[in-house]
Amino acid sequence: MNDFSKGAAWIQGHVIPISDAAIPVTDWGVTHSDIAYDVVPVWQGGFFRLDNYVTRFMASVAALRMDISIDASGVKAALTEMVATSGLRDSYVAMVAARGQNPVSGSRDPRDCNNHFYAWCVPYVHIVKPEVADRGTSVWVAKHICRIPANSVDPTVKNYHWGDFTGGMFEAKDHGFETVLLLDHLGNVTEGPGFNIFAVFGDRVVTADLGVLHGITRRTVLEMATEAGLAVETRPLPLEEFLEADEVFLSSSGGGVIPVARVDDRVFSNGVAGPVAMGLRVRYFDWITRAEHRTEISY
């Protein structure tokens, strides 16, 4: 019997246990991190905003000039089959486009590569443990590493270029912090590994517009904030201004809205999760159960 308790993968039209999933070591997705991907959450047996996530994924595939021989409807069908087979009712679901192997010996021409699609799912991932998020997490601002410039690697295309994030995470962990925030080369707030970041000033919610992934959870937060009567601003956010905020929080497909209690030595909301952030956190878990945002899965 196949064991799908730890997750599943869809590769070349077949659903297999994630422990059996592999791609060739010479795939440019491995050797060059030449990959576009996206992650859609499954919650209580349904995808959240599946069309939005797949639309953004297909835009990323096009931006990287890949032909994966599957369209949006095919991607959705593959994800649905995979999750249904896994039996996972709360899941972190990745869709991936890899550059593939280059069959021409010695070629460095990306046009020669055989692009391909695959997917995988595992039990739902919280990038910050729920009990930590509920009391407010801690964020280190990287001092020695900046975000890769947007004219080098396009941050609006979700990709595997995590050298800056990984270096920043080592810096954060070395200082006893949960995660890391990177600045651009002008000292503006950008994003962190797997999340966008927001600052609250009274009844205004501000988040960066450049150098960041325009995440679906980011979009959800902006829409929820509007629904809650808050003003929203997307614009450059200098670190000095950011640190004067009333509250700070993160957004991620892996956990929704995540309040922040501390950034470096700056303590927010008396060292606990702020009321605006907690209100949006509760609202997020309401939104992912709303019928208009869900695609139910037949297991």
Instruction: State the pTM of this model.
Output: 0.96
In order of 56, 114, 116, 160, 196, the CA distances from 28 in angstroms are: 22, 10, 11, 12, 28
- State residue 204's pLDDT score: 98
What pLDDT, on a 0 to 100 scale, did the predictor assign at position 1?
Answer: 62
Domain at 8-123: CATH code: 3.30.470.10
Among 234, 287, 277, residue whose Cα is nearest residue 257: 277
Mean pLDDT of successive 10-residue segments in the chain (299 residues)? Answer: 90 96 97 97 98 98 97 98 97 98 94 98 95 96 97 96 97 98 98 98 97 96 98 98 98 97 96 97 97 97
pLDDT value for 70: 97
Region of residue 12 (left: phi > 0; alpha: psi -120 to 50; beta: else): left
Q: Where in the chain is the domain with CATH 3.30.470.10?
A: 8-123
Task: Name the CATH superfamily housing domain 130-287.
Answer: D-amino Acid Aminotransferase, subunit A, domain 2 (3.20.10.10)
Calpha distance 90→109 (Å, rounded)? 40
47-248-152-57 Cα dihedral, nearest 10 degrees: 10
pLDDT of residue 264: 98
User: Given this model, what pLDDT does residue 2 score?
Assistant: 79
Helix (H, G, I), strand (E, B) or coil at 38: strand
Distance of CA 101 to the CA centre of its chain: 26
Domain with CATH 3.20.10.10 in the chain: 130-287
